[in-house]
Amino acid sequence: MIETDYEDFIIDLFSQLPATSSFFKVSDKLFVYVNVLKQLIKIDKEEITANKLKIPLLLIDLMEKGIIKSYEYASVQHFTANDL
C-alpha cells in the first residue's frame, strides 16, 4: 500500500518485475499486488520470506528519493461465490 504523487511511475516500475503485478486504488492509496512465482523466491533450496525479497529495498530507495511518501504492507483477501 503506497502513498505517492507518481502513481504512473510506480505502476510502470513494478510492471517490470519478473512477476504478475496488479494495481488498484482505495482513497489516496495505491495498492500494489505482486505475485512472485515460488520458483523465483528460492535460493539454495531455502525459501525466502517476502521481507527478504528485493521489493522492500526498492520501497526504501523510492522513499529516500521522495518518490513515495509512505508505504505499508497489506494483505489482499478475495472470495468467490463458492466461499460464501
Total structural domains in the chain? 1
* Per-residue confidence (pLDDT) for residue 4, from 0 to 100: 95
- Residue-wise pLDDT for 14-69, tens only, equals 888 877 889 999 899 999 988 766 555 555 555 555 545 567 788 889 999 999 99
Tell the residue number behind the cell numbers 529495498, with chain if given.
57
* Per-residue confidence (pLDDT) for residue 55, from 0 to 100: 75
* Per-residue confidence (pLDDT) for residue 6, from 0 to 100: 96
- Report the chain's C-alpha Rg in angstroms: 14
Tell the residue number behind the cell numbers 523510492, with chain if given.
62
pTM of structure: 0.69
Compute the Cα dihedral for 5, 12, 23, 63 and give only its sign: negative
Provide the residue range defining the domain that includes 61: 2-83
* Per-residue confidence (pLDDT) for residue 35, from 0 to 100: 76
Written as nine digits, the cell of 84 is 460464501
